[in-house]
Amino acid sequence: MNKIAETLRTFEFFENIGDEELNFIAERLDEIEFPAGSTIIKEGDDADSMFILIDGEIDVLRTTPFGDEYLCATLLAEFHCTFGEMAMIDKDKRSATIKAKTNCKCLEVKAKDFNGFCKIYPAAGVELLKIIAINMARNLRNENENLRLVYQALIEEIEQI
Amino acid sequence: MNKIAETLRTFEFFENIGDEELNFIAERLDEIEFPAGSTIIKEGDDADSMFILIDGEIDVLRTTPFGDEYLCATLLAEFHCTFGEMAMIDKDKRSATIKAKTNCKCLEVKAKDFNGFCKIYPAAGVELLKIIAINMARNLRNENENLRLVYQALIEEIEQI
């Protein structure tokens, strides 16, 4: 098992994936370094890849309707996070900006490699897609709850007038 | 090909699935009839299945923080819609209520049958999971946009005071 495969083995994302499949993925990934303060992905950009954060801290930012960026979350490599899955799956635009808060190392998974992997190892592809779908469902439930809270605040604000 | 498989063949959801796989699914589905006005699924309920609407019209409803139901969408069988995928994937609670607007016929896909299908036909499982993930990504992008709009309305309301 090469060094990248050993790193991936520690990720919950790959917990149901065998060593052969993990090596196949690992051989197709490049380690990319992002210096602190640099932009890893930009909201609105076209994209077809996801990232695996293997070192450092990242900020997840969104833009308000007035053009201001606000911080949604800070993610640490020790929590074994992945990001950008949505654009890899639907090949639509990035839904958030990700900036390196510290010097970061990431692995980029391109859609063509992911789809190639699913063709060769479909059972492992099912496992990865289930995790991606579960993560998306969690984000969707969070967004529903955020929408409910902001909606409630809006109604209270209107009634106060 | 049995009658249910022939119906499923018209759904975009199953367009990348072969006849053998489609028959396998079709044999495990029961047609359920819901009279107009009845509740098909209820927001907050535990669940582990998705539905395929094959006849009739349904209303998608959510509850406000004040307990009022509001209409999010009306879906027609002719648009070949599926619903409830999220709870089938993450086995968490229903995120919306679905009511039969007219007399409806649905096919219910249980998580255990879906997972069994993915084990026997993983390549087809990959195709179905990709469509589920793409649908979820679309819903997530819509929710992001809704949140942005309600947030904007809230800021404008606050500034007006």
Convert the pLDDT of each residue in A17-28 to its tens digit.
999 999 999 998
Mean pLDDT of A90-100: 93
Task: Say if the Cβ atoms of A147 and B152 lie within 8 Å.
Answer: no
- Comparing CA positions, the residue from A88, A119, A117, A130 lying closest to residue A27 is A117
* B160 Cα to chain A: minimum distance (Å): 9
Mean pLDDT of A34-42: 97
- Binning pLDDT at 50, 70 and 90, where does residue B35 land? very high
**pLDDT value of position B161:** 62
CB contact under 8 A, B66 and A132: no
Q: Looking at the complex, does the CB of residue B36 fall below 8 Å from at least one CB of chain A?
A: no
Q: Decide: A159 and A153 in contact? Cβ < 8 Å.
A: no
Residue B81, both tokens: 């819609």
pTM of the model: 0.90
Choose the closest CB to B136 out of A62, A133, A150: A133
Residues on chain B touching A141 (C-beta within 8 angstroms): 86, 92, 95
Predicted pLDDT at B149? 87
Query: Residue B57 corresponds to which tokens in the numbers above?
Result: 């019209």
Phi, psi of B83 (to 5 degrees): -150, 160
The contacts of residue A50 (CB under 8 Å, 6+ apart) are A82, A83, A84, A85, A87, A88, A108, A109, A114
Query: pLDDT digits over A46-83, tens only?
Result: 999 999 999 999 999 988 777 888 898 999 999 888 99
Among A64, A151, A148, which residue's Cα sits nearest to residue B154? A151
Chain A residues in contact with B66 (beta carbon < 8 A): 152, 155
- Residue from A128, A134, A151, A156 whose CB has the most chain B CBs within 10 Å, to mutate: A151
The answer to whether residue B133 neighbours chain A at the CB level (below 8 Å) is yes
Using a CB–CB cutoff of 8 Å, tell me whether A91 touches chain B.
no
What phi and psi, each to the nearest 5 degrees, are found at residue B41? -135, 155
State yes or no: pLDDT of B9 exceeds 90: yes
Provide mean pLDDT across the span A102-113: 95
pLDDT in tens, A113-150: 999 999 999 999 999 999 999 999 998 998 888 888 88
The beta-carbon neighbor of A150 closest among B125, B132, B154 is B154
Q: What digits encode the pLDDT tens for the residues B55-114?
A: 999 999 988 777 888 898 999 999 888 999 999 999 899 999 999 999 999 999 999 999
Is the CB of B73 inside 8 Å of chain A's CB atoms? no
Averaged pLDDT, A30-53: 95
Q: Half-sphere exposure (CA, 13 Å, Cβ side) for B27?
A: 8
Distance between CA atoms of B104 and B76, rounded to whole angstroms? 10
Please determine, for residue A161, whether its predicted confidence score (pLDDT) is greater than 70.
Answer: no
Query: Closest Cα partner for B123 from B10, B6, B15, B21?
Result: B21
User: Would you list the DSSP string of B39-71?
Assistant: EEE-TT----EEEEEEESEEEEEEE-TTS-EEE
Q: Determine the residue type at B131.
A: I
Average pLDDT of span A101-116: 95
